[in-house]
Structure 1
């Protein structure tokens, strides 16, 4: 659990869930269809390079685009007071760090399905050139705000960042009260989100409880409960004939570690999570 998850992992999961759960446009209700289309467009723009340079910039025919600085972008996001915008501020700064290390944005390229152009790289370089150490540190506060508020994906990234951005603290200072409190907070946030069927949290907890780690001890009943929840959800969303990666064929060894009573309790927990997922997705409940 001491390897930082990349934005690509979160993006991949979000893309899969979006395909499965995005409400279909209501052709009998043009306003509803327009709202769905607008939502999809805004979701895409939220992580695009174009969005970084167009906030509050009224287009003027024939005029060059007005560049919005990193400070202006962060001030705008912070001023809204919305946890989703706090998460966007974290992503913005984390993108700048990633770009400084790699000269590209792997998560953005994943979403675009292509490599960044030279123009896009130049724009990102211009945006991030003035990033300060204080801003680098503040990104963790933005992430903490989003995780506490239950923004999807934030709890998983909060865990992957490690205590106060120092993942080595889990190994080097395990008895530090601040580190122990951080671990309790990280697991509590993930558990709350998993109970709401936020699948990145469900998957993260399943993997965490499979073995002794730096954050939690092995807990086979917990791991199996989250595994069953993922199996039930993926049974719902996978296309017919697609192999469910969480079926017993691959995980029978984990089931065999549990007593019948523990298996029954895990099944009840999984059913509750799967029911919550169906509720969020607008799918019919299963009897």
Structure 2
């Protein structure tokens, strides 16, 4: 069953992904290292509270690799393991970022500020120091051309297995890593097919109640050229709160005053439809998370 301890990780990853198309660099530290334990206390929901990841609980940490394992060894170890596949993809992405930018983000803090019924989310990035860069250069030293070309197979495998956060990476990376393709090559048949496939993946995952997909709803649709209105935003936020509250009764993502604000901008019919859709999504999540095969292990929680 998906646990609240992964909420910080998912929200951090989604925010970082959404910022890519605004020109902000991607989180270059492998997301598996950011998977965190989080129970949102009342104090963390107050004005100006900064949410920081706590240590992962024993037995529930996402799989990690020993320090300075080469990227090619990570790829080989990832065979058949979707979470390690996502970790390997992100390590390759770190290597390519370092090649191109000569620097990378080493750590991040997610800051949520609520004021006047609204919510602002800031991703505070901290650059890696020279010691960390040298370690990464050693890990990336053996990166082959084949691995560079095939890296999206690792990501697609993680997406197919619903690894938390993989869908965000897939969509905001763009067709085969070309972030500009949706804008500059919109008529390219390959881009059209990729967009169709990405939309289907997103919509199917939302319908099945995968939390990261639900939280991606409006931002990912916008990235894929589908503009969301107030009813869609209301539905997304309501469905997110339903799932998060079921994981931990004291947790919410969106404040009630924000939800109330959306209801004032939509019709009664739009509100009823959005609430019905949010409930369907929540029930889909509930059915998956309570299915006989569901366990508390991270890989089964996707």
SS for the counterpart of 1:184 is: helix
Closer/same/farther in 2, CA of residues 102 and 231 from structure 1, 3 Å limit: farther
Deviation at 1:89, TM superposition (A): 2.0
Deviation at 1:170, TM superposition (A): 0.9
Gap regions ≥5 residues in structure 2: 1-17, 41-56, 111-124, 291-302
Name 1:192's counterpart in structure 2.
Answer: 204
Name 2:121's counterpart in structure 1.
Answer: none
- Alignment of 1:230 with 2:246, yes or no, is no
SS for the counterpart of 1:106 is: strand
Closer/same/farther in 2, CA of residues 186 and 20 from structure 1, 3 Å limit: farther
Deviation at 1:99, TM superposition (A): 3.5
Please give the residue correspondences for 1:128-277 in structure 2 after superposition, counting only pairs within 5 Å: 128-208=140-220, 214-236=224-246, 240=250, 244=252, 246-252=254-260, 254-277=262-285
Deviation at 1:83, TM superposition (A): 2.7
> How many matched pairs?
238
Q: What's the C-alpha RMSD, in Å, of the aligned pairs?
A: 3.8
How big is each residue's C-alpha offset from its partner over 1:233-283, in whole Å with a ceiling of 9 and x where there is no partner? 34456785x8x552352354543443322211211221233345456667x
Higher relative contact order (CA 8 A, sep 6+): 2
SS for the counterpart of 1:7 is: coil
Deviation at 1:102, TM superposition (A): 4.7
Query: Among 15, 28, 38, which residue is 2:59 paired with?
Result: 38
- Mapped partners of 2:223, 2:82: distance in 1: 30
Answer yes or no: is the 8 Å Cα contact 1:206–1:226 preserved in 2: yes
Structure showing the higher strand proportion among its residues: 2
Name 2:297's counterpart in structure 1.
Answer: none
- Alignment of 1:106 with 2:106, yes or no, is yes
Answer with 1 or 2: which has the greater Rg. Answer: 1
Gap regions ≥5 residues in structure 1: 22-35, 54-68, 283-287
Closer/same/farther in 2, CA of residues 251 and 143 from structure 1, 3 Å limit: same
Structure showing the higher helix proportion among its residues: 1
- Mapped partners of 1:197, 1:245: distance in 2: 16
Instruction: Normalising by structure 1, report the TM-score.
Output: 0.66
Please give the residue correspondences for 1:66-81 in structure 2 after superposition, counting only pairs within 5 Å: 69-77=70-78, 80-81=79-80
- Mapped partners of 1:216, 1:161: distance in 2: 17
- Mapped partners of 1:156, 1:225: distance in 2: 19
Deviation at 1:205, TM superposition (A): 0.9
Closer/same/farther in 2, CA of residues 234 and 71 from structure 1, 3 Å limit: closer
Name 2:81's counterpart in structure 1.
Answer: 82
- Mapped partners of 1:154, 1:277: distance in 2: 18
Closer/same/farther in 2, CA of residues 249 and 110 from structure 1, 3 Å limit: closer
